Homo-oligomer: A and B are copies of this chain.
């Protein structure tokens, strides 16, 4: 891409370009191995330019995580607003979560998989944002319990258990790409059904 074309880009788009480039590189090379230089090269700007948009490298990571949480929370909130049968809502919520991970593997890995200890700053921010995200799942579970559909009445216990199930599948699918998984949709169906069947009152 030539200089002129680059100049023609929307100026306010640079921030997004940086985030996108960083996201890709953070996952492909790892956060530590991704240098500001490489990000700058990818978007064809000088290294110094990055610092006009972000305080430092870790802030880029923070923004990526925030953005991820926010987008996932939005998707889950939409399901919450749905008036369908609670158990169907829950099922759809689980699927939505998994699908989000598959659709945004880079986002997911950076935000949900990488151990927080690997990153210096912004941890609390991300945890709080993660909690907001988690609350959507929690509310759907609550509706199921209020409707007497579950075999356990502790909202948090169930919500956390479900989160564990779908996070496990999501993280394995996006990080262990070399593993010989059975056909993906079948596996997703199975995991979701196990969770639903496993909590249903009988």
On chain A, which size bracket covers the interface?
35 or more
CB of A113 within 8 Å of the partner chain: yes
Which listed segment binds B: A38-46, A61-69, A85-93, A114-122? A114-122
CB of A57 within 8 Å of the partner chain: no
Judging by beta carbons under 8 Å apart, are A27 and B166 in contact? no
4 more A-B residue pairs beyond the given contacts A161-B191, A198-B198, with a C-beta to C-beta distance below 8 A: A115-B175, A116-B178, A154-B182, A165-B194
Contacts of A147 in B (CB 8 A): none
Judging by beta carbons under 8 Å apart, are B187 and A198 in contact? no
Judging by beta carbons under 8 Å apart, are B168 and A163 in contact? yes
Contact of A169 among B30, B33, B164 (CB under 8 A): B164
So how many copies of this chain end up in the complex? 4
Q: A198 vs B181: C-alpha distance in the bound complex, in angstroms? A: 20
Q: A70 → chain B, closest Cβ, in Å? A: 19
Judging by beta carbons under 8 Å apart, are B33 and A118 in contact? yes
CB of A12 within 8 Å of the partner chain: no
CB of A109 within 8 Å of the partner chain: yes
Whose C-beta in chain B lies nearest to the C-beta of A114?
B115
Whose C-beta in chain B lies nearest to the C-beta of A175?
B115
Contacts of A32 in B (CB 8 A): 30-33
Q: A178 vs B191: C-alpha distance in the bound complex, in angstroms? A: 26
Contacts of A167 in B (CB 8 A): 168, 171-172
Residues 177-202 of A at the B interface (beta carbon under 8 Å): 178-182, 186-187, 190-191, 193-199
CB of A156 within 8 Å of the partner chain: yes
Q: A178 vs B124: C-alpha distance in the bound complex, in angstroms? A: 9
Q: A64 → chain B, closest Cβ, in Å? A: 15
Say whether, besides A117-B30, A118-B30, A168-B169, A194 and B198 are in contact (CB < 8 Å): yes
